[in-house]
Amino acid sequence: MSARTTIIPFRPRPRRAEKVVSNGVLGMILIVFVEIMLFAGFISAFVIVKARAVGSVWPPPNQPRLPFERTAINTTMLIASGIVLLIAHRAYQRGNRSIGLLLMLATLLGGAFVTLQGVEWVALLQEGLTLTSSTYGSLFYTIIGAHAAHAVVAIGLLAWAWLRLMAGTLSREAMSTVSLFWYFVVLVWPFLYFQVYL
């Protein structure tokens, strides 16, 4: 008596669909979208208050003018940081692992931007522009302070990415996620600069 053999046809496992973006990048895209809405609200409030200024005098009397010339230098450093990071990011995605110097330069330029903004704030405080001196002051410190907080967090992430790169453990996903947040910080700044400083 022979045993019956059942032949099961070979069916290849269905291939998993490749992700369009990684989980980290998708999460950062969502965060950036929310942050864009936050800054859009800030700018809207600023524009409305400026439009309703008494006698169309802006900034209000007895409040210092913002140093837009010095801040233009800061802006240049921030944009340069974004360009350097873009070059490093693209090289890393192509498999080039020797981007340490570029990543460090992007981080240092970002740090210089935040430091010079801090110096500017100290000077403005000494000239009498405070959170409570006027609506102008409170809006300025809220909007620009929110950007500074984002910049500090992003610089910390860039430094973390550099340390991971030096240890040889920086994934492409992590590099893209960190870069995306820094691009947001860099790209939102010109809108803030032109609306608030000019």
What confidence tier does 53 reach under pLDDT thresholds 50, 70, 90? Answer: confident
Q: What is the mean pLDDT of residues 133-161?
A: 95
Scored b (16 or more CB within 10 A) or e, 2-38 reads: eeeeeeeeeeeeeeeeeeeeeebbeebeeebeebeee
Q: Which CATH number fits domain 23-61+70-197: 3.30.1240.10, 3.30.70.1560, 1.20.120.80, 3.60.140.10?
A: 1.20.120.80
Highest mean pLDDT among 52-56, 83-87, 125-129: 83-87
- Give pLDDT, residue 150: 97
Q: Is the per-residue pLDDT at 69 higher than 70?
A: yes
When the pLDDT of each residue in the chain is averaged and rounded to a whole number, the result is 91
Lowest mean pLDDT among 53-62, 72-81, 157-166: 53-62
Q: Alpha helices, DSSP H only, in 52-171?
A: 68-93, 100-126, 135-167
> CA gyration radius for the chain?
24
Cβ-contact 164, 102 below 8 angstroms: no
